[in-house]
Amino acid sequence: MKMNGARILLESLKREGVDLVFGYPGGTVINIYDELMNVREIRHILPRHEQAGTHAADGYARASGKVGVAIATSGPGATNTITGVATAYMDSIPMVLITGQVPTPLIGNDAFQEVDIIGITRPITKHSFLIRHAKDIPAIVRKAFYIARSGRPGPVVIDFPKDVQISQAEFKWPETIDIRGYKPNLEGHPRQVEKAVQMLLASRKPVMYVGGGVILADAAPELTELARTLQTPVTTTLMGLGAFPESDPLSLRMLGMHGAYAANMAMTHADLILAVGARFDDRVTGKIATFAPHAKIIHIDVDPASIRKNVRVDLPIVGDTKDVLVKMVDEVKRQGDKLKELHANLAGWHEEVSGWQAKHPFSYKQSTTVIKPQYVIQKLRELSQDDAIMATDVGQHQMWTAQFFEFQKPRTLLTSGGLGTMGFGLPAAMGAQAALPGRQVICVCGDGGVQMNIQEMATLVQNRLPVKIVILNNNFLGMVRQWQELFFDKRYSQTCLEQPIDFVMLAEAYGAKGLRAEKPSDVEKVIKEGFAYNGPVIMEFKIAREEKVLPMVPAGASLNEMVLNA
């Protein structure tokens, strides 16, 4: 059957199982929006800014594991998505962004609302397509989704000129696709797996260092099984939080710049590091020259380019982390008595590790007069549902959430780890809530970042998305202020948000509920009331203004040179 290009796109999205898109109309996507009225299977949520639309698609993907889809018009609509695309790229989130483009004959003419969005997004996408003929749309959509979700996932842009949206073609869904330049290596080599297991059995001080790759591959159960079978302590990156239950005695908690003392000490003293779906980012390694000086390193990753990019690796295993971990669990289970031997050999290491854990757990000084942000996070954990999803912005509140929420399950923390995007939390929470209507979704942010996409309050209210927004308000851009306090002689250049905002009134202005806590005794009451309310809520907590995130590895220092009190 012949149909126009816009309809072919929507039919193709349906074939990919898309049931929800986040988009913003405009001149060069108006035909898609017109056809959307004829396609009931695809729900559409209208954010109030295209950046938020891409963050929402990203949050949808992180929470559900499916590919997030966003639509924007050409020119400014497309450029507004850049931060969202870059955020998804840095954290390897599967996303397809469809942008309108000026009609093909006008491309390159500096037409109204024309930008070379393929060129602009080239370094922040896994791949991109410009549609030239309507007949090509189904294959392009299929390839785009396949590329976005397979291997190391990432965002893909489809640029769609307006004239092609109008032109007619036959809709023919390709049964198979073949991309000759793209064959991700998903199966871990069995010999490498055997070698890895032998190295683990021979080790006396092993640590598993786990990143977001485990969550992306839905490999948390296999990872947990492997760690428990081997009795190996586990530390996770920020992106890996939830891949291993933090309540487990083997959990060393998060490592790195604001990581746990025990995690950083264990990395420094380990004789073997098993890195799984992690990429040795500078926030994790600290000074690279002194990173894990005694350890052999096994690195499992689906992306060969991640291996040996930042650190030397003794045994690389390229493959889907789930596939590799399944093979490792099988191999480990065949070891019989050797496993018992290993457990006996690790007794001393476990003792050393628990010593570090006991010496400096994540902690803070409670107050009876002023609300401590860490206390708010602890109360959120206590009062929220077990499988609640936490979205954050970037900064102090993000680190406090990582340190004090004790993540237990994968896909329960949505945070911009790689790009570090302020303004991510609220729209990401919106996307997660839209993906999983039955789940409790909480957004923790600061008074700085929340204002970067505060307009999405309207979207939450309009779509009845009951996101619980927690603002830890210190009237500061707190993380930068902390650096200025510690490293710049308390010269607080442009980090004080002096103009007070009444967030309760702001919530009400959007038709949401607003609550405020000003003293520690209010905290529990406000959270309970906010959680009980059937709709979006802003809960504002006036927190200790100069509270710092500790411990901290100063930039450029070694992991074991942590500032514990400052």
Partner 1 sequence: MQHTISVIVENEFGVLARVSGLFSGRGFNIDSLSVAPTMDESLSRITIVTRGDDAILEQITKQLNKLVDVIKVLDFSDDSAIEREMALIKVTAEDESRAEVLRIVDIFRAKIIDVTPKSYTIEATGAPAKINAILDLLRPLGLKELVRTGSVAIGRGAKGWKG
Q: Which stretch binds partner 1 (CB under 8 A): 103-111, 180-188, 466-474, 505-513?
A: 180-188
Q: Does 136 bind partner 1 (CB under 8 A)?
A: no
Specify which residues 4 forms β-bridges with: 168
Tokens 């070891």 locate to 335
Active site residue 112: yes
- Using alpha carbons, select from 342, 325, 452, 315 the residue that is nearest to residue 392: 452
> Token pair for residue 334?
């065949």
Which candidate, 438, 430, 444, 537, places its Cα nearest to that of 22?
A: 430
Tell me whether residue 113 is one of the annotated catalytic residues.
Answer: yes
Residue 302 Cβ vs partner 1, minimum distance, rounded to whole Å: 11
Q: Which tokens go with 302?
A: 């689906």
Nearer to partner 1, 130 or 326 (CB): 130
Q: Which entry of 35, 50, 114, 540 is annotated as an active-site residue?
A: 50
Which span sits near partner 1 by CB under 8 A: 19-27, 126-134, 340-348, 535-543?
A: 126-134
What is the 3-state composition of the chain as percent helix, strand, coil, each rounded to the nearest 5? 40, 15, 40
106 binds partner 1 (CB under 8 A): no
Tokens read off for 70: 């966003």
- Give me the least distance between CB of 257 and partner 1, in Å please: 24
> Smallest distance, Å, CB 506 to partner 1?
40
Q: Which residue in the set 44, 48, 66, 127 belongs to the binding site for partner 1 (CB under 8 A)?
A: 127
| CA dist list (Å): 172 to 116, 176, 219 | 29, 12, 35
- Find, among 62, 218, 277, the residue nearest to 155 by Cα: 62
Report the residue number, 183 or 525, with the smaller CB distance to partner 1.
183
How do 127-130 and 441-446 pair as beta strands?
unpaired
- Among 242, 217, 220, 240, residue whose Cα is nearest residue 65: 217
Minimal distance, residue 305 CB to partner 1, in Å: 4
Least distance (Å) between residue 291 CB and partner 1: 15
Helix axes of 5-15 and 137-149: crossing angle, nearest 10 degrees: 40
- Active-site hit among 113, 335, 455, 462: 113
Asked, as a colleague might, if the bond just before 551 is cis with ω within 30 of 0, I would say yes
Q: Could you give phi then psi for residue 43, rounded to 5 degrees?
A: -80, 150
Whether residue 170 lies in the annotated active site: no
Segment lying near partner 1 (by CB under 8 A), choices 176-184, 192-200, 453-461, 503-511 = 176-184
69 DSSP β-pair partners: 96
Total residues at the site for partner 1 (CB under 8 A)?
17
Q: How far is the CB of 122 from partner 1 (least distance, A)?
A: 5
* Binding span for partner 1 by CB under 8 A among 300-308, 386-394, 468-476, 491-499: 300-308
In the complex, the smallest distance separating the C-beta of residue 185 from partner 1, rounded to whole angstroms, is 10
Interatomic CA distance for residues 80 and 354, integer angstroms: 48
Q: How far apart are CB 119 and partner 1 at their closest, in Å?
A: 7
In the bound state with partner 1, the residue whose beta carbon lies nearer, of 123 and 336, is 123
Of the candidates 1, 38, 180, 191, which one interacts with partner 1 according to CB under 8 A?
Answer: 180
Q: How many CB atoms lie within 10 A of CB 181?
A: 5
Chain length of the chain: 566
Q: Is 105 in the site for partner 1 (CB under 8 A)?
A: no
* By CB under 8 A, residue 182 contacts partner 1: yes
Q: What gap in Å lies between CA 518 and CA 369, rounded to an integer?
A: 9
* The one among 108, 109, 112, 122 contacting partner 1 by CB under 8 A: 122
**How crowded is residue 370: how many other Cβ atoms within 10 Å of its Cβ?**
14
Q: Which of 103, 304, 535, 554 binds partner 1 (CB under 8 A)?
A: 304
Among 6, 78, 147, 273, binds partner 1 (CB under 8 A): 147
Say which residue the tokens 């500061």 belong to.
Answer: 476
Task: Kindly tell me which residue out of 166, 179, 347, 509 binds partner 1, with binding defined by CB under 8 A.
Answer: 179
Q: Does 178 bind partner 1 (CB under 8 A)?
A: no
561 vs 176, 325, 339, CA distance in Å? 54, 32, 34
309 binds partner 1 (CB under 8 A): yes
Which two three-digit tokens encode residue 268?
């420094």
Decide: is 181 part of the binding site for partner 1 (CB under 8 A).
yes
Minimum CB distance to partner 1, residue 130 (Å):
8
What is residue 422's DSSP assignment? Answer: T
Q: Does 126 bind partner 1 (CB under 8 A)?
A: yes
Which of 16, 43, 259 is closest to 140 using CA atoms?
Answer: 16
- The active-site residue, picked from 2, 41, 112, 333, is 112
The stretch near partner 1 (CB under 8 A) out of 179-187, 240-248, 505-513, 523-531 is 179-187
Q: Which residues make up the interface to partner 1 (CB under 8 A)?
A: 118-119, 122-123, 126-127, 130, 147, 179-182, 303-305, 308-309
Looking at the annotation, which residues are catalytic?
A: 50, 112-113, 162, 479
